[in-house]
Amino acid sequence: MECNFLVVGSGIAGLSYALKCAGVGSVVVVTKKKDIDTATNLAQGGIAAVLEERDTLGSHVADTLGAGAGLCDETVVEMVVGDGPERVEELVRIGVEFVRDRGSSSGYSLGREGGHSHRRVAHANDLTGREIERALLGKVRSNGNIKLLEEHGVVDLLMVGGDVAGWERGGKRCVGAYVMVDGVVEPCRAKMTAVCSGGVGKVYLYTTNPDIATGDGVAMAFRAGAEVQNMEFMQFHPTCLYHPEEKNFLISEAVRGEGAILIGKDGKPFMEKYDPRKELATRDTVARAIDKEMKETGSDCVYLDITKREPDFIKERFPTIYGRCLSQGIDITKQPIPVVPAAHYMCGGVRTDRMGKTSIPGLIALGETACTGLHGGNRLASNSLLEAVVYADRAANFCRSIWSKLKDSKLPLVDEWQCGDARDLSEEILINHNWDSIRRLMWNYVGIVRSIERLALAKKRMEFIYAEIALHYKKYYVTPNMIELRNLALNSLLIIQSAMHRRESRGLHFLIDYPDKLPFPSQTIFKRKGRSNSWDIKIIEESCNE
Ligand code: SIN
């Protein structure tokens, strides 16, 4: 396999970038499950942008910086917010149908979410992500220059010596990836590779993320030698449905934006105790408040009550949430919804510059996989779809700007995948057991509120699990489940090490031993030492220095 542009992931970032690159060269999009198995497809709230007359770019910038707890890159924030309105209009031109409101100056019905001082979230009721994915996939499928390959997992990046235009000279560059299909691993060579494989919610027992969210992009990029930034900032969404048969169904923040209040099991609202913005405080504050209420009252959940709104409004604005809750016997027009926080969004990721370029020549990172500097220590609601389209556009512009040099570059010969004397894995339990252990360990020891003692214990246990997975990886033929487990383990260690490194409480990272912010904000940046793609327990130990 070979192409000009290899794109790993089929969410909003990967598809938007693929469509733009297809204007200059051949594109292959690989996705390890079906094309719609993406976090984008599950996004409910919408895309934040300044679309209304009374709103201002300055206000969106201020809200983003406020949420980010001193760690946003202000220039990046201004750039993303500034590009926002144009990118939203571009989505509309592609065919995305946001809900309209003729009475508003923007022409759109705009939602409100926590941390925003204005209504500025364009939405398709509570199915915004699905609508965006539908429109983008339609365009991608009908584009003759794009090949979209489902059930194609990626194992590792292809690394060789040499330079790439637009990057500093020296070191190794990325020339594609080892791709696995039907149990066979083959190199797919590319002139430019983009990792847009989403986040890592699956390291936690409870998450709003789809099953694909195993941090593959971050793990592959880190193994290949890329800088990874701020992995301690895992965003927990305050309101995931609490029901034994619905483990990861999100109750959109837009529900609170339309007036829902959080109440305890005694029926009393509690957010006023924590923040004057109450239910519309930023997510870090609301998730921690819920965690505290649950711990103090010994309850398994709290409740979100929207019953004060008209039933017809609720059914029309939140048809999916209404229907899904009703199917579990909860009529949200009449009764409060049981909710708990759950892992939702990785604010850290592969460090990029303002064009989406990583520290590895030839490798771009986009969407949740990337850490661009927009979100800082806590992402503002609905800024992620925005970041994805803005950076997809910027990265594609960068590729076009170097295309005259790139198109004449020769794809180098690369090594075939080496199996050594591996054999078939006969006991899947060896993999499944570790999946379960990691997710429980991360939830209980590296969750919303952390302590040095629990982090240290988590590190010890994770290193043991990591070493065991390393042995399986050497001994057996790789399977999709094993590849994901290996990536989960590496991401878990990166999260733990980053969390231990940050001796303060800031944004989403709350450490009971260090409850205050340090006076000077710093970014946590890790880069592995040693040979690319080697699979050795030491790579974590040796690499996690700022
Ligand atoms: C939500 O609808 O609450 C999720 C939106 C987001 O994560 O930005």
126 Cα nearest atom in ligand 1: 2
Residue 197 and residue 437: Cα distance in Å, rounded? 23
Residue 190 and residue 167: Cα distance in Å, rounded? 16
Q: According to the model, what pLDDT value does residue 543 have? A: 54
**Are 390 and 487 members of one domain?**
no
Q: According to the model, what pLDDT value does residue 491 have? A: 96
The helix/strand/coil state of 431 is helix
Mutation pick for ligand 1 pocket among 237, 258, 283, 387 (CB with most ligand atoms within 8 Å): 237
User: Residue 270 C-alpha to ligand 1 middle, in angstroms?
Assistant: 22
Residue 266 and residue 284: Cα distance in Å, rounded? 24
**Are 64 and 121 members of one domain?**
yes
Question: Is 335 inside a domain boundary?
Answer: yes
User: Residue 203 C-alpha to ligand 1 middle, in angstroms?
Assistant: 19
Name the DSSP class of 116. -
User: Residue 524 C-alpha to ligand 1 middle, in angstroms?
Assistant: 25
Domain-ending residue, one of 342, 360, 380: 342
**Are 59 and 171 members of one domain?**
yes
Residue 124 and residue 100: Cα distance in Å, rounded? 9
Q: What is the CATH number of the domain that holds 46?
A: 3.50.50.60
The CB of 239 under 6 Å from ligand 1? The reply is: no
Q: What is the CATH number of the domain that holds 286?
A: 3.90.700.10
Question: Is 423 inside a domain boundary?
Answer: no
Q: What is the CATH number of the domain that holds 475?
A: 1.20.58.100
Catalytic position from the list 283, 351, 379, 486: 283
User: Residue 18 C-alpha to ligand 1 middle, in angstroms?
Assistant: 24
Q: According to the model, what pLDDT value does residue 537 have? A: 47
**Are 32 and 130 members of one domain?**
yes
**Are 359 and 477 members of one domain?**
no
**Are 163 and 49 members of one domain?**
yes
Question: Is 471 inside a domain boundary?
Answer: yes
Residue 482 and residue 458: Cα distance in Å, rounded? 21
**Are 85 and 212 members of one domain?**
yes
The CB of 47 under 6 Å from ligand 1? The reply is: no
Q: According to the model, what pLDDT value does residue 168 have? A: 87
**Are 496 and 383 members of one domain?**
no
Question: Is 421 inside a domain boundary?
Answer: no
283 counts as catalytic: yes
The burial of 452, by beta-carbon neighbours within 10 Å (0-12 exposed, 13-18 middle, 19 or more buried), is given as middle
379 Cα nearest atom in ligand 1: 8
What is the helix, strand, coil percentage profile of the chain, to 5? 40, 20, 40
With a CB cutoff of 8 Å and minimum separation 6, the contacts of 149 are 28, 29, 30, 31, 179, 181
Q: According to the model, what pLDDT value does residue 546 have? A: 37
Residues of the chain where predicted confidence (pLDDT) is lower than 50: 537-538, 541-542, 544-546
Instruction: Report the number of distinct structural domains present in the chain.
Output: 3
Question: Is 418 inside a domain boundary?
Answer: no
Residue span of the structural domain in which 302 resides:
237-342
45 Cα nearest atom in ligand 1: 2
Question: Is 545 inside a domain boundary?
Answer: no
**Are 261 and 335 members of one domain?**
yes
Q: According to the model, what pLDDT value does residue 424 have? A: 82
Q: According to the model, what pLDDT value does residue 482 have? A: 93
**Are 6 and 134 members of one domain?**
yes
**Are 99 and 14 members of one domain?**
yes
Of 41, 4, 16, the residue nearest 140 (C-alpha): 16
Residue 546 and residue 134: Cα distance in Å, rounded? 41
Question: Is 546 inside a domain boundary?
Answer: no
